[in-house]
A and B are shown apart, each in its own frame.
Chain A
Amino acid sequence: MRTGRGAGLVAVQEEMGGEGALEIAYSESMFNVPDAAAALRDYASQGYDLVIAHGTQYGTSLSQLAPDFPETSFAWGTATNTFQAEGISNVFAYQAEAQQGGYVLGTLAALMSESGVIGVSGPVEAGDAKLYVDGFKFGAENAKAGTQVNVSYTGSFSDVSLMAAAAETHVAAGADMLTGSSQSVVGAIGVAKDKGAFWFGTQWEQTSLAPEAVVASQVYDWTGIIKDMIASHQAGVMGGKAYTLTFKNGGLVIAYNDAIEVPAEALAAADAAIAGIQDGSVKPLP
């Protein structure tokens, strides 16, 4: 997905001096063959220094083949297991604390909402989406007592149509602020635009999809992690680190849309929430 990890890789490439300095190859499978073992092995045998497997389902394959390529560093996510317990030392793991940005965006939404009702639509009630949604809900409720956060899930990562209907439902239930997670939110963003509601994005910068509706997005900035993996690799540390994107390490960023004015009070509360999450005084999950 170019919107997520791919964008991070390209950013690192540009920083390090373009294609000559860092060669990137990627492959994505649309047939969704659950196992990318052949691809991973192929990259490793071609001598790539760092091979990233983005998908939880690649863990088993990775733990099988990593020992065969001690010169290569592998990374996978979103996960926390680096397989050190199994004696493997060249696997990095990464994940995002989606709830942190969720909390901040929830704070913003609650303070901007006139109706006091906010609509959240997720794909499946698990993993990254669940963390984001729970954080968002908690943040909104803490920012303004009495804020009603309605949550729905579509049961699919790709059903744009149902995602759009979910957003419509939230608006009909009185929501004037909307958010959601997964690739399928593009359907919901259109509804926000048409119905005059505000949208809060996550995972990638979503302003371009509806400049008149997207207030802010929690952006996953993978550059720091990727740079650290490359640096570690060059220093001879092949793996073993489990990375987490947080506000504190700069992996999570709130990207505001300049075209929409956020009330100073909301902005201040959001900044305070970020600061609180960074110093640990604010817990983003209940």
Chain B
Amino acid sequence: MSELFTLPVLLGILYSGIRLATPYLYAAIGEALSQRAGVLNLGVEGIMLMGAYAAFFVAWRTENLWLGLGAAALVGAAMGLMMAYISVTLRAVQGISGIGLHLFGLGLSTLLFKTTMGGVQSISGFKPIRIPILADIPLIGEQMFNHSILVYLAFLLVPVAHWVLNGTTLGLKIRAVGQNPAAADSLGVSVMKIRYLMVSVGGMFAGIAGASLSIALINLFQENMTNGQGFIAVALVYFGGWKPWGVLGGALLFSFVQALQLWIQVKDINIPSDIAVMMPYLLTILALTFAVRRSDQPAALTKPFERGEA
């Protein structure tokens, strides 16, 4: 066991953990924004897949990564709008409509992949940017400050989302709409408008989460390449208690344990590989079992709003 707690291993975990956390951060922060406004979007996985495909395809064809990123954001926002129309305007059961959206994204991205790309292609994605001075910090500098732009932006998103939620009038409205839509409505806040906005923004970030995989971290597209990450992202929102910093904590815990279990295997520590793979999932549950939890769930989460009903 002592082999595990050596400097190279810890630094390796830091580096891989940061990379692994990136797509979770985009998707989970986006989902947290949507849920704070009262809408559960279970379709994150499908949106991520469409975002990953759109980013890759556009970047592959135009050789412009930024156009690819834009395409992913646009596709993500469009799918978010779809979700908003169905869950906000048509007041559909949110858990199920998200699953519909997921299937739609999974099927469509696979269909497009097979008909427009033929097979797995790879591109040269966003290159790591070494941040001067910070990257020169002994030991951890190189691990933390030599990543691609999409990794930095993912982590930057956390304080930004925190500030938007807690330091702006928009944030106040979002929280009001998610907590007590009837009261918000009576104060002249448009519940519809806020929910539409946040679900679309959440979709946009889910699309970017997919893009971070296909044009920054792995630089290829393969059918169903997100492999359940979108669902984990939704779980991380609950884990993080709907707070951006909490989501960051959850994403990092999950990703660091993910990186740790790979090191456990590499260092040939005597744990069956399947049990090692199980660790991040098991620990996420255990962490919640031992942590004392307040129920911070937005009171109106999953509840459609109808004027005059409450």
Report chain B residues within 8 Å CB of A184. Answer: 222
A155 touches B273 (CB 8 A): yes
A255 an interface residue at 8 Å Cβ cutoff? no
B8 touches A158 (CB 8 A): no
A183 an interface residue at 8 Å Cβ cutoff? yes
With an 8 Å Cβ cutoff, the count of chain A residues facing the other chain is 34
Q: Is the interface of A mostly helix, strand, loop or mixed?
A: helix
Report chain A residues within 8 Å CB of B169. Answer: none
Of B107, B220, B272, B278, which one neighbours A190 at CB under 8 angstroms? Answer: B220
With an 8 Å Cβ cutoff, the count of chain B residues facing the other chain is 39
B277 touches A160 (CB 8 A): no
Q: Nearest-CB distance from A149 to chain B (Å)?
A: 10
- Chain B residue at minimal CB-CB distance from A154: B277
A53 an interface residue at 8 Å Cβ cutoff? no
A154 vs B262: C-alpha distance when bound (angstroms): 8
Q: Nearest-CB distance from A225 to chain B (Å)?
A: 23
B180 an interface residue at 8 Å Cβ cutoff? no
Report chain A residues within 8 Å CB of B229. Answer: 161
A2 an interface residue at 8 Å Cβ cutoff? yes
A197 an interface residue at 8 Å Cβ cutoff? no
- Chain B residue at minimal CB-CB distance from A149: B268
B262 touches A165 (CB 8 A): yes
Report chain B residues within 8 Å CB of A165. Answer: 16, 19-20, 258-259, 262
Of B223, B262, B274, B278, which one neighbours A30 at CB under 8 angstroms? Answer: B223
B159 an interface residue at 8 Å Cβ cutoff? no
A164 vs B226: C-alpha distance when bound (angstroms): 13
B218 touches A160 (CB 8 A): yes
B119 an interface residue at 8 Å Cβ cutoff? yes
B273 touches A125 (CB 8 A): yes
Interface with B: A55-63, A167-175, A265-273, which one?
A167-175
18 residue pairs A–B, Cβ–Cβ below 8 Å: A30-B107, A150-B265, A159-B227, A160-B225, A161-B20, A161-B213, A161-B225, A161-B226, A161-B229, A162-B258, A164-B217, A168-B16, A172-B11, A172-B12, A173-B266, A186-B120, A189-B122, A190-B218
